[in-house]
Structures are given as C-alpha cells and as structure tokens.
C-alpha cells in the first residue's frame, strides 16, 4: 500500500501523483454528473416526455448515492479501498451506458439510480485513499486537489451539458462517462498497490442484515425529506407512512447491530466525540451548500434578470474558493489545531452569509459572487480540516467507516436542506403564479436567512471539535 512518507511531496508530478490523478478522475465522474444534467433537462423532456417526473432524475441519483455510503465505508475496511472504488466506477459506467440508451423517462430515472449506486462508492473512497496515502500534514493539499475537481465541474459541467444537448445529443452526457471511467480505473489499477495494510482486520462475515436495514431506513428518510412538500404534503398519509417506516427500520437496524459480530456501522461511531462533532459539521455543510446551489442561480436569474450561464459562473465562486482554502488549511491546523482552523473558517463563512441576506433586486452580480466566494473560502477551512480530524482519529481498519459516516452526514444534511429551504421558499411565494423580480427576491430571502442560521450553527458545531484529536494515522 502506498504510504505518505515523503513529507510535503504532494502534487500530480510527485511519486504518488498518478494515484492522486486517478482519485481526481474518479471524483470528476460524480462532480460532473451533479452539474452537467441540469442544462439538458428541457431537451430530455422534449424527447422522452415525463415533464412532471423529471425531478426524479436528480432525486433517484442522490438517494441511492447517499444511502450506500456507510455500507461502502465498512466494506472498504474489510476488503480494501481499491476493489470497492473499482466496483463503484464499474457500476457507475454501467449506469451511464443504460442512461445513454434510455427509451423513456421512467427508464432514465431507474438508470440514474443505478449511477447513484456506483457514485456512492466513488467520493468517500477517493477521500479515504487520500487519508491512507498522505500524512496528516499532507492531507490538506491532497484534499484541496480533490476539492478543486468540484470547482472545475461547477464551471464546465453546465456548459458541456448545454453544448451536448444543443449540438449533438443529450445522450452524450452519459456516453462521455464511459472513457472517463475506463481511464480512472486504468490509472488506479496501474498506480495504486494496496497490499500492506498492517491493521486490516481479518475478513469476517459481512453484516448484510444491518446493511440492508440501514440502506432502507436511510433511503426512506431521505426520500421523505426530498419529496415532502412537493410530491405529497408533509402531513399526508404517504409522508407519515414513509417517516414512520424509516423510524421502525432504524430501530431494527439498532437491534441488529447490537447482535452483529462485525456491524456494518459500529456503535463506536456514535460514542467518539471527534466523530460526532465532525459529522455534525458535515451535516450543516451539506445543508449550506444545498441552499446556495439551489437558490443562488434562481436569485441571479429571477431577481437580477441574468442568463443561466451568468448564474452558473456566479455560483462557481463558491467552489473556486473552497479548494484554495482547503489546500492551505494544513498550515493552520498543524499550528493551531483542527478546532481553531474551523473557527477561523467560520468568520468568512458567516460574513458571506450575512451579506447574502442583504441582497435585493438592486444588487450587482459581483455582490452575489463575493458572498459565494467568502462562504466557499470559509467552507474550505471548515469541511476539509473536520474530515481530516475524523480520519486522523482512527487507524486504517476504521478509516473507511469514519469517512463514510462523514460523507453520509453531509448527504443527509443536503436532503434536510432541500426540505427546509424548499418549504421556506414555497411559503414565501404562496399565491404567486407569475412572480416578478421583487417577488422572486422576497421568496428567496427566507432561504438566505436560513443559510445564515445554518452557518452560525455550523460555527457552534465546529467549536465542539477536539483541538487535536488523538492521532491514529
């Protein structure tokens, strides 16, 4: 197994550069898929129909991606990161192939769910491998490289999606994934030799009962949050049935895990302070990011009267500032500790969120971009160090679970954010069929206020991270 022994030697031209490149390529698959489809939806609906069903193109992908993350984390601690990541890439490629061949909207939705099954393994495994091969001092730069992929994808994804749908075919959005998957897998196979994990546990019987209960419970919970208030009322029979079933399955999961010899999500995840704190941070990061990515473009287009392309570039400042701050966060947490670094990051994040609440129809585009840039810089100093703190507190045999729990918390936060922000925006826009710029701004203003509240709560959660968690690797 490659080891992070060359202190400070982080980059694509270093000895571990090919591994880092493969992780970035794998991450690009998930990152592009999160942005490239949005601009192609009108073209897809025109060919396949199913206008009322198209939101499920996003929900089905996010749902299957989120619920399987903890399962993949545990499997990687037993079987290794490489086979789990390769499996994820293969399933993602298969899902992409099926999406490219889809003949109807229901079929495309089902195949997007298959893509999500593969995507659920890619991002947490990329982050876990980075935690394996780089030292604590090096991980900030490595995670910055991986985070930069999201920044690039936020800029080029919508443009590529529009170009394919306008000039070739929307199906090329999925065809293009196949060579990218092949390249990522080939580079990973050639460059990453995972053979010497000294503290890898002996392979035991997989807790499939726990994995199934967890996936079903989490799936129902996230489904209820994503579709509540949209596909059905919050107090309707479907909503009550879904949330009740989720609670019952979580209870079943708890009983199964207490009896399992090697539980899929060990109880120590819920008893260690550093993991609880960093998971809380990840949940709030997911909510804040979802609020911005969902409503900043709507504000820029609807309230300021710009195009979708301008709105995309405005939001891109969020994901451009993030990797810059993340790559430099190592200098701070090595000197000051993880908690202090996250609290320093809270300053620009809160400042950006405060300025966000001051926007109105008379604001300039650069005002919105500046808000996103500040929040992105703050998130880079909060999200990456908190993830590294979680990884540093455990050894190799537990790092997959710790990273998976962090990624799952962020996905859950995104789902909660969709539900809360959507409810606020819908309530503010009630009775408005054809909103003008002023009404659009008024309906989104409560969302920006909620983002500020979430950012303030994020600072509180960051303050509970141990200053320097006991390092296990």
pLDDT digits 0-9 by tens, 27-80: 888 888 777 776 677 788 888 887 667 677 877 888 888 888 888 988 888 888
Determine the pLDDT at residue 93: 94
- Residue 217 phi, psi (nearest 5): -65, -50
Confidence of residue 396 (pLDDT cuts 50, 70, 90): confident
Report the chain's mean pLDDT, rounded to a whole number: 83
Place of tokens 């160090």: 385
Query: Which helix (H) or strand (E) element contains residue 389?
Result: helix 365-392
What's the pLDDT tens digit per position in 337-361? Answer: 899 999 999 999 999 999 999 998 8
pLDDT in tens, 445-454: 999 999 999 9
Question: Could you read off the pLDDT of 258-270 as tens digits, one per residue?
Answer: 888 778 888 888 8
Per-residue pLDDT, 199: 52
Instruction: State mean pLDDT over 154-169.
Output: 75
Number of neighbours of residue 177 by Cβ within 10 angstroms: 26
Do residues 115 and 33 make contact, with C-beta atoms less than 8 angstroms apart?
yes
For residues 356-383, average pLDDT: 91
- Is residue 312 a contact partner of residue 161, using CB atoms and an 8 Å limit? no
Specify which of 151-155, 200-204, 289-293 reaches the highest per-range mean pLDDT.
289-293
């Amino acid at each position: 197994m490659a080891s992070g022994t060359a202190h400070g030697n982080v980059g694509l031209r270093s000895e571990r550069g090919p591994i880092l490149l493969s992780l970035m390529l794998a991450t690009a698959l998930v990152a592009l898929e999160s942005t490239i489809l949005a601009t192609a939806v009108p073209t897809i609906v025109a060919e396949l129909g199913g206008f009322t069903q198209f939101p499920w193109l996003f929900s089905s992908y996010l749902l299957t991606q989120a619920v399987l993350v903890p399962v993949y984390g545990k499997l990687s601690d037993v079987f290794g990161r490489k086979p789990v990541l390769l499996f994820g890439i293969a399933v993602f490629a298969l899902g992409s192939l099926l999406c490219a061949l889809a003949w109807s909207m229901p079929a495309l939705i089902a195949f997007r769910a298959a893509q999500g099954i593969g995507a659920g393994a890619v991002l947490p495994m990329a982050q876990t491998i980075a935690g394996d091969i780089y030292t604590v001092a090096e991980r900030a730069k490595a995670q910055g490289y991986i985070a930069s992929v999201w920044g690039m994808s936020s800029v080029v994804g919508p443009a590529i999606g529009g170009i394919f749908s306008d000039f070739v075919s929307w199906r090329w959005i999925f065809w293009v994934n196949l060579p990218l998957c092949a390249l990522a897998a080939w580079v990973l196979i050639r460059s990453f030799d995972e053979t010497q994990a000294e503290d890898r546990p002996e392979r035991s019987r997989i807790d499939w009962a726990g994995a199934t209960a967890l996936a079903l419970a989490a799936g129902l919970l996230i489904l209820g949050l994503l579709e509540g208030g949209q596909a059905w009322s919050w107090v309707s029979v479907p909503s009550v049935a879904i949330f009740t079933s989720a609670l019952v399955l979580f209870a079943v999961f708890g009983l199964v895990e207490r009896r399992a010899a090697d539980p899929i999500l060990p109880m120590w995840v819920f008893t260690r302070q550093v993991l609880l704190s960093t998971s809380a941070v990840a949940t709030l990061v997911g909510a804040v990011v979802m609020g911005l990515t969902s409503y900043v473009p709507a504000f820029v287009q609807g309230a300021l009267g710009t195009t979708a392309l301008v709105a995309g570039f405005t939001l891109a400042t969020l994901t451009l500032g993030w990797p810059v701050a993340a790559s430099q966060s190592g200098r701070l947490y090595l000197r000051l500790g993880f908690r202090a670094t996250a609290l320093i990051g809270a300053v620009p994040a809160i400042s950006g969120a405060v300025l966000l609440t001051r926007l109105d129809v008379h604001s300039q585009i650069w005002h919105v971009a500046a808000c996103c840039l500040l929040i992105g810089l703050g998130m880079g100093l909060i999200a990456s160090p908190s993830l590294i703190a979680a990884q540093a507190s455990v050894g190799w045999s537990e790092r997959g679970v710790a990273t998976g729990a962090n990624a799952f918390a962020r996905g859950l936060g995104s789902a909660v954010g969709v539900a809360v922000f959507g409810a606020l925006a819908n309530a503010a826009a009630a009775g408005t069929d054809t909103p003008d710029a002023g009404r659009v701004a008024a309906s989104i203003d409560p969302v920006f206020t909620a983002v500020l509240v979430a950012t303030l709560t994020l600072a509180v959660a960051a303050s509970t991270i141990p200053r320097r968690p006991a390092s296990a690797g």
